[in-house]
Amino acid sequence: MAKKILIIEDDKLLRKVIGKKLVMENYKVVEAMDGEEGLKFSESEQPDLILLDLVLPEIDGFEVLARLKKNPNTLKIPVIILSNLGDEEKVEKGLKLGAVDYLIKAQLNPGDIINKIKKVLNKKGRNQ
């Protein structure tokens, strides 16, 4: 069965590019444009992994991550932060809040992102 990835990203073009690449790799993709929608879909869709931007309208990614990790229904879903905010303080904060990885958009192409997702999902599969 195809793994489900939730992309919480307000940049429509980036969401589409990553989503298309994931679909080509046989993942099921759910897209959210902001933090509120992302939280709602995290609960209703129960994705296998969440790709989370930090700069979002309404609720920022840190708040989304904090809420995901406080909710017993979404607590175990691995979250990879995908952001342009690359300073050490932000990376540390994201990892402390429970993200499994922190990727900086400017340093990656969609293929790199897919490889990270595969790595996290393979690790998750072995740990269950």
What domains are defined for the chain?
A: 4-123 (3.40.50.2300)
Name which residue leads in pLDDT, 127 or 64: 64
- Whether 4 has a pLDDT exceeding 90, the answer reads yes
Instruction: Spell 9-29 as b/e; 16+ CB within 10 A means b.
Output: bbeeebbeebbebbeebebeb
pLDDT tens digit sequence for 37-46: 999 999 999 9
Higher pLDDT, 79 or 128: 79
pTM (two decimals): 0.95
In sequence order, the 6+-apart residues with CB closer than 8 A to the CB of 100 are: 78, 79, 80, 120
* pLDDT for the residue numbered 106: 87
Residue 44: exposed, middle, or buried by beta-carbon count in 10 A (0-12, 13-18, 19+)?
Answer: exposed
Distance CA 91, CA 102 (A): 6
Task: Report, as an integer, the average pLDDT of 72-79.
Answer: 97
- Summarize the confidence of residues 53-59 as an average pLDDT: 94
Q: How many helices (H) and strands (E) does the chain have?
A: 5, 5
Q: Which residue has the higher pLDDT, 106 or 96?
A: 96
**pLDDT over 70 percentage in the chain:** 97
In this prediction, residue 127 carries a pLDDT of 62
Task: Of 16, 108, 81, 1, give the one whose Cα is nearest residue 46.
Answer: 1
Crossing angle between the packed helical segments 61-70 and 35-45, to the nearest 10 degrees: 30
Count CA within 13 A, CB hemisphere, residue 36. Answer: 2
Q: Is the pLDDT of residue 128 over 80?
A: no
